[in-house]
Amino acid sequence: MIIGGAEPPTNVPTDTAVRLPLGLRVLYMVIFGVTFWILIWVLLVTVVAQLILTLLAGQVNPDLLRFSKGLSRYITQVVEFVTFLNEKPPFPFAPWPDLNGAP
């Protein structure tokens, strides 16, 4: 129990052994902020392409669907890193998100 009755938030990373130095983290956050901006445009192109291909073929494109799954998980990892929900930098500093496991 914490003095004063307040429990620490459960969603804040508490493992200081794996924390990046703040200066390096800021650099990574800037890089991943720009990466996120580019990813939004890639997502827009993917959405439009899937819509057009679905209208033409009458069904979703499985290759584009697989790409979309990986892209959405990568975007999630980037957002979690820049918002301090995760201390581990995403790809290319970690493997590409697993398409079979949980996000």
Cα-based angle 80, 83, 84 (whole degrees, multiple of 5): 85
Per the structure block, which two tokens stand in for 69? 């799954």
The full set of domain ranges for the chain reads 20-82
Distance from C-alpha of 60 to C-alpha of 58, rounded to nearest angstrom: 7
For 90, counting Cβ atoms within 10 Å of its Cβ (0-12 exposed, 13-18 middle, 19+ buried), the class is: buried
Length of the chain: 103
Q: How confident is the model at residue 1 (pLDDT cuts 50, 70, 90)?
A: very low
pTM over 0.85? The answer is no
pLDDT, tens only, 34-91: 999 999 999 999 999 999 999 999 999 999 999 999 999 999 999 999 999 999 999 8
